[in-house]
C-alpha cells in the first residue's frame, strides 16, 4: 500500500530500525532516534543494490517518488543509478577545481612569497569582497567579458575608480595563470580595454619624502614661531588626522589623558565620512596636549584663534612649514601618506591602518562602520609610530652634536 504524507510525518522511532514501503522499491528507513532516510532497492547486473535519496523532511514524499522514477528511467536505459551519481559527483568536483575562486587562490599562493604581507592581505580581501561572490563559483573557461564588466562596474559605482582598474588587472592575471595551466584558452579582460571609467585628474597632497622626515622633525623642534603652531604640527604628525579635524578640536573630545588608554573621540559632525572616529593617543601625543592646555587658557578649543571660525586657520600650519624651509616640498595633509607608508611597510594590518586613517571602507562584506574596530591593535600601532618618530629625532640630534653633515 502506498505511503501517505501523514504516515511518513507520524513515523516514530522504535527499539529497532524499521521500513515503511511505498512500492516500486521505494521505502523510508526509520531509525531508533526517529530520523528518516529515503532509500530505493533495485537490482542491476544481477546484484541487489540500494540508492540513498536523502532525509525526510528535507526530501518530501513527492520528491522521493520523482527520484524513484528517474532511477527507473536510468535502469531501463541500462545505467546503474548509483554509478551515475558517483560519476556526477566526480564531474562536479572536477568542475569546482576549474572554477575561478580555486584557480585565483592557487595563483595567489604562487605569488605570495614575492609580496609584503600588507599587500597580499589587502589583495585577498578585495577578491573575497568584490570578485568571488559573483564569479568565484563559475567555471573559468565559461566567464565572458560582460560577466567581468558587471562585477567591476559595481566597484566603480562605489566611486572607487582606481580600485576598479586595479581589480580588472588582477582578474586578468588570474586568467593568464589559468591559460598557462591549461584551464582557460583566453583572457576576456583584453576585450574590456577602454570600457572602464577614466579616473580623471587627481589632486594629490604632496607628502614629505620619508628620508627627509628626520630633518623635518629637527627643524620643527627648532621652530621659533608661535608655540601653539609648533605643537599643532607635532600633534598632526603623531595622529595623522585630517587638518580640519585637528584645527577644530575641543578639549571635551579627549578622554583619559591621565590614564593608561588616552583617547581622542572625534564626533561625527567633524568627520569627512560623518562617522565618529577614535584616535588612540601615544604618550608623546599626551605630552603635546599637556603643553597645549595652558596655552589655550579657558577656551573649550584646543587651538583658539581670533578668526571667523574661532580656531586656527587653514594656512597657519602650512605657513609654518614654509617658514622652516618646506615651501612646495610638502603639505600638512601629506603626513597621512608618510605615516601610512611606514605602517604598511612595517607589516601592520591594512584594516588597522585604513580605520586609523578614517577611510570609508563600508560594504556588504565588512558590515557597518564601527569607530572602535581594531582599537587595541591600533593603539599598539600608534605607539610604535610615535616611538619611530622619537628614534628619528634622536638620530638627528646625535648627528648634529657630532658635527656630522
Establish whether 277 is a catalytic residue.
Answer: no
- Grid-cell match 594629490, residue found: 204
Half-sphere exposure of 22 (CA within 13 A, CB side): 24
Range of the domain at 272: 210-401
Catalytic residue among 67, 270, 333, 355: 333
Same structural domain for residues 52 and 154?
Answer: no
Whether 342 is in a domain gets the answer yes
Alpha-carbon distance 292 to 312, whole Å?
Answer: 13
Establish whether 242 is a catalytic residue.
Answer: yes
Give the three cell numbers for residue 90: 566526480
Establish whether 183 is a catalytic residue.
Answer: no
Whether 93 is in a domain gets the answer no
Counting DSSP H helices and E strands in the chain, the numbers are 16, 7
Phi, psi (degrees; rounded to nearest 5) at 155: -70, -40
Establish whether 362 is a catalytic residue.
Answer: no
What is the separation, in whole angstroms, between the first and last Cα of the chain?
102
pLDDT tens track, the chain, 405 positions:
789 989 999 999 999 999 999 999 999 999 999 999 999 999 998 899 999 999 999 999 999 999 999 999 999 999 998 888 888 777 666 555 789 999 999 999 999 887 777 678 888 988 999 999 999 999 998 999 999 999 999 888 877 788 888 899 999 999 999 999 888 899 999 999 888 876 654 444 567 777 888 899 999 999 999 999 999 999 999 999 999 899 999 999 999 999 999 999 999 888 866 778 999 999 999 999 999 999 999 999 999 998 888 999 888 998 998 999 888 777 888 888 889 889 988 888 888 888 899 875 444 333 334 556 789 999 999 999 999 999 988 765 544 544 433
Establish whether 293 is a catalytic residue.
Answer: no
Same structural domain for residues 313 and 229?
Answer: yes
Catalytic residue among 67, 336, 355, 378: 336
Whether 20 is in a domain gets the answer yes
Whether 204 is in a domain gets the answer no
Same structural domain for residues 253 and 379?
Answer: yes
Whether 383 contacts 231, CB under 8 Å: no
Whether 221 is in a domain gets the answer yes
Strand order in the sheet with 47-56: 18-23, 26-30, 36-44, 47-56
C-alpha distances in Å from residue 187, one per residue of 166, 190, 323: 16, 6, 54
Entry pTM: 0.49
Phi, psi (degrees; rounded to nearest 5) at 278: -105, 130
Whether 313 is in a domain gets the answer yes
Establish whether 333 is a catalytic residue.
Answer: yes
Catalytic residue among 39, 369, 388, 393: 369
Give the distance from CA 44 to its chain's centroid.
53
Same structural domain for residues 236 and 361?
Answer: yes
**What CATH number corresponds to the domain at position 16?**
3.30.160.390
Alpha-carbon distance 225 to 229, whole Å?
Answer: 7
Same structural domain for residues 124 and 249?
Answer: no
Domain count for the chain, please give it: 3
Amino acid at each position: 500500500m502506498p505511503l501517505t504524507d501523514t504516515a511518513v510525518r507520524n513515523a516514530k522511532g522504535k527499539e529497532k530500525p524499521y521500513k515503511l514501503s511505498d512500492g516500486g522499491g521505494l521505502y523510508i528507513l526509520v531509525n531508533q532516534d526517529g530520523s528518516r532516510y529515503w532509500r530505493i532497492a533495485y537490482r542491476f547486473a544481477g546484484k541487489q543494490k540500494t540508492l540513498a535519496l536523502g532525509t525526510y523532511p528535507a526530501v518530501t514524499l513527492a520528491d522521493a517518488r520523482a527520484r524513484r522514477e528517474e532511477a527507473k528511467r536510468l535502469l531501463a536505459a541500462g545505467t546503474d543509478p548509483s554509478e551515475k551519481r558517483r560519476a556526477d559527483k566526480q564531474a562536479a568536483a572536477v568542475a569546482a577545481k576549474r572554477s575561478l575562486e580555486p584557480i585565483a587562490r592557487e595563483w595567489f599562493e604562487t605569488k605570495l612569497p614575492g609580496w609584503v604581507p600588507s599587500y597580499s592581505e589587502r589583495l585577498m580581501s578585495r577578491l573575497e569582497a568584490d570578485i568571488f561572490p559573483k564569479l568565484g563559483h563559475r567555471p573559468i573557461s565559461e566567464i565572458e567579458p560582460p560577466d567581468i564588466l558587471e562585477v567591476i562596474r559595481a566597484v566603480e559605482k562605489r566611486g572607487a575608480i582606481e580600485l576598479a582598474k586595479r581589480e580588472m588587472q588582477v582578474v586578468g592575471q588570474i586568467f593568464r595563470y589559468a591559460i598557462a595551466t591549461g584551464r582557460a584558452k583566453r583572457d576576456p579582460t583584453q576585450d574590456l580595454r577602454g570600457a572602464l571609467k577614466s579616473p580623471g585628474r587627481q589632486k594629490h597632497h604632496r607628502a614629505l619624502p620619508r628620508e627627509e622626515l628626520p630633518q623635518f622633525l629637527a627643524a620643527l623642534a627648532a621652530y621659533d614661531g608661535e608655540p601653539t603652531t609648533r605643537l599643532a604640527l607635532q600633534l598632526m604628525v603623531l595622529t595623522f588626522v585630517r587638518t580640519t579635524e585637528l584645527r577644530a578640536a575641543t578639549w571635551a573630545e579627549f578622554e583619559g589623558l591621565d590614564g593608561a588608554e588616552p583617547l581622542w573621540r572625534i564626533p561625527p559632525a567633524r568627520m569627512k565620512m560623518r562617522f565618529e572616529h577614535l584616535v588612540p593617543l601615544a604618550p608623546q601625543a599626551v605630552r603635546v596636549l599637556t603643553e597645549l592646555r595652558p596655552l589655550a587658557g579657558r577656551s573649550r578649543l584646543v587651538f583658539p584663534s581670533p578668526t571667523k571660525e574661532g580656531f586656527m586657520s587653514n594656512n597657519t600650519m602650512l605657513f609654518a612649514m614654509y617658514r622652516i624651509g618646506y615651501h612646495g616640498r610638502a603639505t600638512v595633509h601629506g603626513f597621512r601618506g608618510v605615516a601610512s607608508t611606514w605602517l604598511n611597510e612595517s607589516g601592520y594590518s591594512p584594516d588597522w591602518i585604513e580605520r586609523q586613517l578614517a577611510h570609508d571602507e563600508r560594504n556588504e562584506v565588512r558590515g557597518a562602520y564601527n569607530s572602535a574596530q581594531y582599537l587595541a591593535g591600533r593603539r599598539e600601532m600608534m605607539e610604535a609610530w610615535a616611538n619611530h618618530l622619537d628614534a628619528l629625532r634622536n638620530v638627528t640630534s646625535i648627528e648634529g652634536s657630532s658635527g656630522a653633515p
